[in-house]
Amino acid sequence: MTYKTPVATIFGGTGFVGRHTLKKLAGSEMVIRVATRSTANAARLRTGGVVGQVVPMLVDPYDDRLLAAAIDGADIVVNLVGTLTTGGFKRAHAELPGRIGAAAKRAGVQRVVHVSSIGADPNAASRYAASKGEGEVALRQAFADATILRPSVVFGPEDNFFNRFAMLASFVPMLPLIGGGKTRFQPVWVGDVAQSIANAVADDNTRGRTFELGGPSAHSFEELMQLMLKTIRREGMLLPIPFGIAALAAKWTGWLPGAPLSSDQVEQLRHDNVVQQGAATLKDLGIEATSLEQILPTYLNRYRKGGQFADIRDYSVR
């Protein structure tokens, strides 16, 4: 019998979650194709595996011919493509998962794992959540056995959540609490998300199932900001802002490039982002969730006054 080395194609592999996922998958004996529109961004990922294991592929996922070529011959497909740009929701979130699923079905792919988001719902008022929900429906129609993972806010060294607010707290004396900061989140460590993808790929019992990924506990936005400030040892003021005022401000400034808040983000903040009761979770994937307190100091300490080595008082060599 001839043994064939499994081949995995990853879409979105150069992103925050993608880079950690690649490292987890590289621990198994498989060839990993990183489908990307910029092979320069993927080139540095080659060192994530043994020589020749990680193969960057120049692919525009919105081109059906190139999409099919990236998937042809693969046994596993992982989709991590996502965007925070409102104008990209339709293509990236709503349409692409179904197109990937259809191409995977035609190519005879064995396993498809798709990363969505907690709160994904085609009927959601938020365009982000609705597009994520539409993408899940399209994927299931094309590839019914796909495994869907819905993480809450993902945190880690390169995240766009705690890093963003810690940076702000380093320069401004006040941080806004939209809606009073009552919205609840269940942040999940990027390492746990990456491991959940690897475990889902390896476990046939995850076929056709949806898992919601959250950390060991839920926190209000205000509590998360307090924890962040404590970690970086700063005393920023937290200012509650009603949803109505935030929505009005976002309406007038949200269209600007780099705007701190969009109207859709205000809408998202009206709803908790936590694991639903009864949902399959990290534990069902064999993973014990990692706490915020364990990880945040490992990468936020650079925002402390004096930097990450602020506690060192004596630099002399003895």
List Cα–Cα distances, 46 to 8, 13, 191, in angstroms.
Answer: 14, 12, 19
pLDDT exceeds 70 at position 254 = no
3 state DSSP class of 150: strand
Q: Identify whether 288 is part of a domain.
A: no
Q: What is the pLDDT of residue 123?
A: 97
pLDDT in tens, 158-175: 999 999 999 999 988 899
Q: Identify whether 15 is part of a domain.
A: yes
Q: Identify whether 314 is part of a domain.
A: no
Q: Identify whether 260 is part of a domain.
A: no
pLDDT exceeds 70 at position 301 = yes
Confidence band for 314, pLDDT divided at 50, 70 and 90:
very low
Of the candidates 209, 227, 237, 202, the one whose C-alpha atom is nearest the C-alpha of residue 294 is 227
3 state DSSP class of 310: coil
pLDDT in tens, 69-108: 999 999 999 999 999 888 899 999 999 999 999 999 999 9
Spacing of C-alpha 306 from chain mean position: 30
Q: What is the pLDDT of residue 310?
A: 64
Cβ atoms of residues 164 and 225 within 8 Å: no
For residues 8 and 318, the model is more confident at: 8
Confidence band for 251, pLDDT divided at 50, 70 and 90:
confident
As a whole number of angstroms, the distance between CA 6 and CA 29 comes to 7
31 is in which domain, residue-wise?
A: 7-145
Q: Identify whether 126 is part of a domain.
A: yes
Cβ atoms of residues 101 and 143 within 8 Å: yes
Number of domains in the chain: 1
Q: Identify whether 127 is part of a domain.
A: yes
Q: What is the pLDDT of residue 317?
A: 46
Q: What is the pLDDT of residue 48?
A: 83
pLDDT in tens, 129-167: 999 999 999 999 999 999 999 999 999 999 999 999 999
Q: Identify whether 224 is part of a domain.
A: no
For residues 286 and 252, the model is more confident at: 286
Q: What is the CATH number of the domain that holds 104?
A: 3.40.50.720
Spacing of C-alpha 62 from chain mean position: 20
- Other CB atoms within 10 Å distance of the CB of residue 270: 13
pLDDT in tens, 10-52: 999 999 999 999 999 998 889 999 999 887 888 888 888 888 8
Q: What is the pLDDT of residue 3?
A: 65
List Cα–Cα distances, 270 to 133, 149, 221, 249, 318, in angstroms.
Answer: 17, 22, 11, 16, 57
Q: Identify whether 62 is part of a domain.
A: yes
Q: What is the pLDDT of residue 35?
A: 94
Residue 108 one-letter amino acid: G
Share the mean pLDDT of the chain.
Answer: 92
Q: What is the pLDDT of residue 122?
A: 98
Q: What percent of the chain has pLDDT over 70?
A: 92
Residue with tokens 């109505």: 244
